[in-house]
């Protein structure tokens, strides 16, 4: 599989349209941006095998954008990803376990990259740490305000949060729904620089009522897979197949944005 993927990466790299202006993209978020769960599957704990080769949605997103002819480099202070994508696709700003306010707190770090576009997916840890919807919404509003104050020309695509079906904390699912319902108004407040991408609605990942897709989120169902207590499951982090679905939604939303940026930027 690895050699085939490497060969595919080479072919994709040649698909960049000649003269297309380079665009920088910052994947910004938490463990889902980092790629936790990339190596997991049904009945495998999401932490299993999650190391520097985890690429989450970033690897298939890069491949999709390259195949579409875009000249895109990822930026960020972090670096991880599978060997079949080049170093230019390894950079990111995904911090496992972090809340929105923590990402805002290191804005001076990631703003130095001056990205043309940001894919932003945050809020899962705020909800998982039982912060109120009011607080999470306010923190997202503050993050977007700070982002545009520092990077007024940057386009920010804000993703809705995936459901959090959890046997120990069933209240999280309702909190996700409440946050996602409030998110469009927050994003609209910062338009046209910000735009909403309904990752949750488009993929239906991790939802309790979509049995085929539930298998695309990492889960563990008993002590045999290292879960404590028995019966606990985590359907917050997608598997590789789930991340590919996220990448497809991101790519569809990014297409028109990147076309506009490439058309106005000077060719390198």
CATH number of the domain at 42, please. Answer: 3.40.50.1110
State which residues form the domain around 53.
Answer: 2-14+21-263
Q: What does the block give as tokens for 266?
A: 């000077």
Which has more confidence, 17 or 187?
Answer: 187
* Total number of domains in the chain: 1
Model confidence band, residue 69 (pLDDT cutoffs 50, 70, 90):
very high
**Domain assignment present for 191:** yes
**Domain assignment present for 34:** yes
What pLDDT score does 255 carry? 95
Return the closest-CA partner of residue 85 out of 67, 112, 109, 99.
67
What pLDDT score does 207 carry? 77
The model's pLDDT over 25-52, given as tens digits with 9 standing for 90+, comes to: 999 999 999 988 665 444 444 444 455 6
**Residue 123: is its pLDDT beyond 90?**
yes
**Domain assignment present for 268:** no
Strands 78-79 and 91-94: antiparallel
**Domain assignment present for 231:** yes
- The CA distances from residue 203 to 38, 80, 159, 245, in Å, are 16, 24, 12, 7
**Domain assignment present for 64:** yes
Q: Compute the mean pLDDT over every residue in the chain, rounded to the nearest whole number.
A: 80
**Domain assignment present for 109:** yes
**Domain assignment present for 38:** yes
Our CA dihedral for 203, 211, 174, 143, rounded to 10 degrees, sits at: -30
- Contacting residues for 105 by C-beta, under 8 A, at least 6 apart: none
**Domain assignment present for 95:** yes
The model's pLDDT over 126-138, given as tens digits with 9 standing for 90+, comes to: 999 999 999 999 9
Q: Name the E strands within 199-268.
A: none
* Dist CA 132 CA 145 (whole Å): 20
What pLDDT score does 127 carry? 94
* Dist CA 226 CA 1 (whole Å): 28
């Amino acid at each position: 599989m690895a050699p085939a993927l490497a060969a595919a990466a080479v072919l994709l790299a040649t698909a960049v349209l000649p003269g297309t202006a380079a665009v920088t993209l910052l994947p910004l978020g938490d463990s889902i941006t980092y790629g936790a769960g990339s190596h997991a599957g049904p009945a495998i704990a999401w932490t299993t095998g999650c190391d520097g080769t985890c690429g989450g949605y970033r690897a298939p997103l890069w491949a999709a954008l390259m195949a579409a002819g875009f000249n895109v480099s990822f930026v960020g202070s972090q670096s991880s990803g599978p060997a079949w994508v080049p170093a230019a696709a390894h950079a990111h700003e995904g911090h496992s376990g972090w809340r929105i306010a923590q990402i805002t707190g290191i804005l001076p770090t990631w703003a130095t990259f001056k990205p043309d576009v940001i894919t932003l997916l945050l809020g899962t840890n705020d909800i998982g740490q039982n912060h109120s919807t009011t607080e999470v919404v306010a923190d997202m509003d503050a993050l977007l305000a700070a982002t545009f104050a520092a990077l007024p020309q940057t386009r920010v695509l804000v993703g809705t949060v995936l459901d959090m079906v959890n046997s120990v904390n069933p209240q999280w699912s309702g909190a996700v729904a409440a946050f996602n319902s409030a998110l469009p108004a927050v994003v609209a407040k910062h338009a046209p620089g910000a735009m909403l991408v309904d990752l949750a609605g488009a993929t239906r990942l991790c939802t309790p009522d979509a049995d085929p897709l539930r298998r695309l989120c990492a889960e563990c169902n008993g002590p045999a897979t290292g879960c404590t207590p028995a019966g606990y499951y985590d359907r917050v982090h997608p598997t590789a197949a789930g991340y590919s679905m996220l990448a497809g939604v991101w790519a569809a939303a990014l297409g028109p944005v990147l076309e506009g940026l490439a058309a106005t930027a000077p060719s390198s």
